[in-house]
Chain A
């Protein structure tokens, strides 16, 4: 009995935790090697997208309820943080958590009305909310600055290196938190909902409660990221609430591997770096980038993480 129970608890696999540890140390060491602000800014973007992709994964990757409007929380909290900063003078250490809380509250409200319905309602409503926010930002330029957005926010940190470290620490905290959560009973239940919601309900699980809670956490983390991004750029713009951001987040998770937390990290880094490295291709960039995404999705429908794991198992001779 003891042996098997250990086996169960080890599902928070030491290998994964070890890899996360190595990853964290690597993130912390990078600025010692790459001092060029260009790289640090690029890697700041990676941190931002990792946070967004992993938070999206918690609800959508695990339960299959696709959130088509993650940008709603990013933009919403970004602008909320900016307004608090500009009008009330609140510093980033306040606007980040408050932005996250506002986003989590929005997630709770939107989720409680839509996640108890089966069918595409949730996807449709999340999409609509993001679009509404985007339009609202454009219309009320007196408040949100319209296309220009809002500028003059307090910096997150004085230097690019500072931005890198703050975003890096937030990313690591988020990733470790989400990974452990995904391996907890809470994560097991989310997976069961994604697999077969009827059987999950039939097992005495209040599936709506778990979905709404996951959505709230997901939204809250996206909100922190949105406020963080605003302060790092000292600017928030309507593109933070745009559909293309929501779509990019989904693509990153799909390419990396849904429902794993680890996969989205790979997807976010890879797509951010590939996108940047194709800059010299000029107008062909989007074409090549999109084709690459399609190829990955065709040949690795479960994402790159799955390919890596299978390759690893084959190397270790475990493949049956």
Chain B
């Protein structure tokens, strides 16, 4: 297997708070890796470090062997890593189509486009995949929450990433929307899309991924198959106990 992403000794503190500590992870091409952890464990911080929205205090991120920790967010997107945001907040006053057009004008999308292919054709294709074609001309602010989530994923996919990072894609979705999203993720996986998915809702996640990493207080406490994680003592103590109380 070919490692796409290698994270070594990644650490980040906010003042006195150690949000992430000595984190290691390797993601191979075509894999889906799940990341779980209680609130404030450092999951989003990990994504922010990978995508250049935060600088690590120490450690490094390598993508296809290249160090990317010093790059700016747009440079990382253009190298092939896209993300969605936990608090989906897109271009509210722009139409659904326009929202997708923005990444279509990124450097990466421009060079990946075949000759003669129009950016809006790509955008409409993505909207079709996300079942948003009937909303093309609607302003983003008028979308339902589930539709916004799909739109954010479509936005991230528009740069045709080699690695897609989804930050709690299921949170706030009703069962029906969660089913649709699961199907979309499975289809992308079949097409070879590499993904890291942060998720709070374990049930949805465990059915999708082959490998799960558990983070508690900024530290990786376990890594393994969904069954291994669900039976891991430390995970059960730190995370599942809390989940049970919800």
Hey, which bits of chain A sit against chain B, CB under 8 A?
1, 4-5, 7-8, 185, 188-189, 191-192, 195-196, 198-207
Q: Which residue of A1, A5, A192, A204 is within 8 Å of B91 (Cβ)?
A: A192
Contact B124 A195 (CB under 8 A): no
Given A5-B118, A195-B93, A196-B90: A201 and B73 interface contact (C-beta under 8 Å):
yes
Can you offer 8 A-B residue contacts whose CB atoms are under 8 A?
A5-B120, A191-B91, A191-B93, A196-B91, A201-B74, A202-B77, A203-B102, A203-B159
Q: Is the interface of A mostly helix, strand, loop or mixed?
A: helix
- Give which listed residue, B74, B124, B136, B137, contacts A204 with CB less than 8 A: B74
Interface centre among A189, A199, A204 (most CB of B within 10 A): A204
Task: Flag if A203 contacts B155 (CB, 8 Å).
Answer: yes
Give CA–CA (A201, B77) in the complex, Å. 8
Q: Which A residues lie within 8 Å of B158 (CB)?
A: 203
Complex Cα distance A57/B25, Å? 46
Residues of the B chain whose Cβ atoms lie less than 8 Å from the Cβ of A200? 91, 102
C-alpha gap A192/B103 in the complex (Å):
10
Identify the interface centre among A7, A199, A203, A206: most chain B CB within 10 Å of its CB: A203
Contact partner of A198 (CB less than 8 A), chosen from B53, B82, B119, B136, is B53
CB of B121 within 8 A of chain A?
yes
Q: Which residues of B contact A199 (CB under 8 A)?
A: 85, 89-91, 102, 155
With A8-B97, A203-B159: A1-B124 Cβ-Cβ less than 8 Å: yes
| B43 on interface, CB distance cutoff 8 Å | no
For A192, give its contact among B102, B108, B136 (CB under 8 Å).
B102
Rounded to whole angstroms, the CA-CA distance of A191 and B98 in the bound complex is 10
CB-CB nearest 8 A-B residue pairs: A204-B106, A204-B77, A203-B103, A195-B91, A201-B73, A192-B102, A185-B105, A8-B120
Which of B51, B82, B91, B107 has most A Cβ within 10 Å? B91
Chain B residue with Cβ nearest A259: B93
**Residue on B nearest A199 in the bound complex, by CB:** B90
Contacts of B97 in A (CB 8 A): 4, 8
> Which residues of chain A have C-beta atoms less than 8 A from B155's C-beta?
199, 203
B109 interface residue (CB < 8 Å to A): yes
| Chain A, residue nearest B133 (CB) | A4
Q: Are B108 and A204 in contact (CB under 8 A)?
A: yes
Q: Closest chain A residue to B137 by CB distance?
A: A7
Distance (whole angstroms) from the CB of A116 to the closest CB of chain B: 9
Binary contact track B96-133/A, C-beta < 8 Å → 1, others 0: 01100111011111000000001111001000000000
Given known contacts A195-B93, A196-B91, A198-B53, is B121 in contact with A205 (CB within 8 Å)? no
Are A202's CB and B73's CB within 8 A? yes
Would A188 and B101 count as touching, CB distance under 8 A?
Answer: yes
